A and B are shown apart, each in its own frame.
Chain A
Amino acid sequence: MRWGGFAGRVCRGRDRRGAHSKGGAGSMSVLAVHSVMKHFGGLVAVNGVSFELAEDEILGIIGPNGAGKTTLVNLISGLYLPNAGEILLGADDITFAPAHERCRLGVARTFQLVHPLQDLTARENIMVGALFGQRLPLRVARKKADEIGELLGLRATNRGVSNLTVLEVKKLEIGRALASDPKVLLLDEVMAGLNADETKAMIASVRAIHEHGVAVCVIEHVMSVIREMTDRVIVLNGGVLIAEGPYGTVSADPEVIAAYLGEER
């Protein structure tokens, strides 16, 4: 049973942290992407990208606009199916699994353009993840939603979502993803539109989630966030993976600098 989720995960997370060094080579990979390709008509959006995500890691995915970052997330979460390649979640081949099944297996995501479910309350927004991602009964899902709301610092979750601030909406999005008790959490630009203080709060939230034993993938444009948060970074440009490693190494890579300079700066 995956319910019992949060408390259980805390322990398991700690166990793992004891056994392995953070993000180290000895860690098990929870997500493995092998040479995936996706093209839309003549446009190749993702071209033979391979990477692995360790189960105790925060991985950054960076690259200029149009590099294929969101497409990659869509391939992993199942909104798109790849034209070639393979995606493994632990031992499960999820390359062609429907999106809802991937969620149940443990892949959760947020969206770059956040649309909370307008006709549900904030609590119900979070409950959706627990009800369908974990298939918990209503009553248990409600309790779980309240726990997550508290963890993320969301108040008055029995209200509608139309009056939430940008930060609250983003947290709600993360809460819904988290409620499905994921092994892998894909965050697509959760910091966009936040001010410095909010960004700080959000980094703390993501850290807390990670401490609970969830492997995290972050797409992000704000480099200071990437530097502060991630153990490792992969860089995409034109759908191709051009660099991989700790942020310090990658940011000095001439090819990475050229990719960014060539684009807009």
Chain B
Amino acid sequence: MRTSRYIPYAIGAVVAVVFPFLSGVYTQQIATTTLLYLALAVTWDMILRSGQLSFGTSGFFGLGSYAAVLLFLRAGIDPLLTIVLGGAFAGVVALLVGLAVLRLRGMYFAIVTLASASIFAVVVRNIPQLTGGPEGMMLPSVIFGGDPGKTYWVALAVGALAVIASELSERSRVRLALTSIRNDERVAKSSGINVFWYLVFVFTLASAIQGIAGGAYAHVYGFVSPEGSFHLNFLLLPLAMALLGGIHTTWGPVIGALALGVLGEYLKLQIPYGHLLVYGGIIVIVTLFLPQGVVGAFRARVRQWQASRGVQ
């Protein structure tokens, strides 16, 4: 019973490792992008599990992008290391933002995170000496010479990092703390949970991973710009992925990201920008008919089936 729990992980790991050897350049590229979005979707959901809706995803993604590129261009640091440092920078900024605004709740917190994301973009645009201003910056060389067979591993590491962080928190006291805070903050407080500290912790951790995803994305595609790196897509697509797959779990956003990543690419080929239309449609349909997402609906079915068979 105990080992069977790990079988899905083993299958997932094997598929992820074998995948690039069985697929072409184009597929590897799609997988790379999808895995970076997957990291955003999982970490966005991690914050949501505390009951807080963060719209800062694209902001921390962009900060990580810029920090990684700047450290590479101006300080000549190894690109892989700059991806990690970019995430650390995004994490530090998230910590400061979190300390300042995590007394806010609900809509107020959501709007402040959205505003802070656009503030980051405005700041970046307005210090051209450092950031290249509105035009952004091109990298003279992309990571691994742009070989998708290699960049795939970078993206896989980022995706895996998000999944591991999420699962570690789900399997520890962190899950009980965040769920309590989401369900009833007064009860959480009165039961000894340091609500503010847990919110700052999860917001910082998730945003740092979003920054890492941004750094990886910038090094894979070889450029940063205020429009591109802080694009609202880096918030809305992960959000659609998590909603489709099912919120408040690790595997919901993972499944949603894989499904929409592949579907989005296909639709892009059929209709230019058609994928965005479909994403929007999916958000509407899922929230109307599958509010718990695919994973949530599946779990409910399994529970029903178990109950009907009298399984405990």
A residues at B contact (CB < 8 Å): 77-79, 98-100, 103-104, 108-109, 111, 115, 117-120, 124, 127-129, 131-135, 138, 156, 158, 176-177, 180
Contacts and interface: CB of A to CB of B under 8 A. Distances in A.
Given A117-B180, A119-B182, A158-B312, A128 B189 contact: no
B158 interface: no
B193 A119 contact: no
Contacts of A103: 189-192
B67 interface: no
Nearest to A108: B190
B173 A117 contact: no
A98 to B, nearest CB: 8
B177 to A, nearest CB: 7
B173 A132 contact: yes
A111 B183 contact: no
Given A119-B183, A119-B248, A120-B183, A100 B189 contact: yes
A132 B191 contact: yes
B107 to A, nearest CB: 21
Interface residues of B, number: 21
A79 B185 CA distance: 10
Contacts of A180: 191-192
A244 to B, nearest CB: 26
Consensus secondary structure, chain B interface: helix
A115 B187 contact: yes
A79 B186 contact: yes
B194 to A, nearest CB: 5
A79 B191 contact: no
24 contacts: A77-B190, A78-B190, A79-B189, A100-B189, A100-B195, A108-B191, A109-B190, A117-B179, A117-B184, A117-B187, A119-B179, A119-B182, A119-B183, A120-B183, A127-B176, A128-B176, A128-B187, A129-B191, A129-B192, A131-B177, A131-B192, A132-B173, A132-B176, A132-B194
Given A100-B194, A117-B183, A131 B176 contact: yes
A55 B87 CA distance: 52
Contacts of A133: 191-192
B180 to A, nearest CB: 5
A132 B177 contact: yes
Of residues B179, B180, B190, B193, which shows the largest number of chain A Cβ atoms within 10 Å of its Cβ? B190
Nearest to A156: B312
